[in-house]
Amino acid sequence: MNVQTLMQLQAALDRLIALSRELEDALIRSDFAAIEAVTRELEGVLEGFPGAERVNESEASLQGEEGPADDLGMKDLRALLAQRLAELRAIEERNARLILEAIRLRQRWSELFARMIAPTYGPTGRAAVPRPILQREG
């Protein structure tokens, strides 16, 4: 990686980390409009940075590649970028856990409300409207 690419990656990572933190706050508040807006901004940053799909490859190359950038004293920048990638990954993992827990909570509420609905009985003494059966995944 050359110096210009490393600097572009640093700017993109800084923006992604800031947006990921905003997304985390929006998820905690359950602010769906903010979640959608931040998600679109995240997609815009990723689309605007060529090679963003190779973040994992970049992380590996940042940690182990010896090249011209190291000759120019860019080893510290490489270490900083590797640290920022790890920070972004940690924030995204927290966001994924928040989303998963929100889905689980919604499923629990659905099950609770499904049990609260009183069945109606037909002339045969059986429930006229079948109760929905919710299945728990995982």
Whole-number percent of the chain with pLDDT over 90 = 38
Q: Is the pTM of the predicted complex or chain greater than 0.75?
A: no
- In this structure, is residue 122 part of a structural domain? no
Q: How many domains does the chain have?
A: 1
Cα 19 to Cα 26: distance, rounded to the nearest angstrom:
10
- In this structure, is residue 127 part of a structural domain? no
More confident residue, 59 or 21: 21
Predicted local distance difference test score (pLDDT) of residue 73: 60
Q: Provide the domain limits for residue 91.
A: 3-116
- In this structure, is residue 130 part of a structural domain? no
* Angstrom distances, CA of residue 89 to CA of 33, 64, 82: 24, 19, 11
- In this structure, is residue 128 part of a structural domain? no
- Looking at residues 97-110, what average pLDDT do you find? 91
- In this structure, is residue 81 part of a structural domain? yes
54 DSSP 8-state letter: G
Cα 57 to Cα 77: distance, rounded to the nearest angstrom:
17
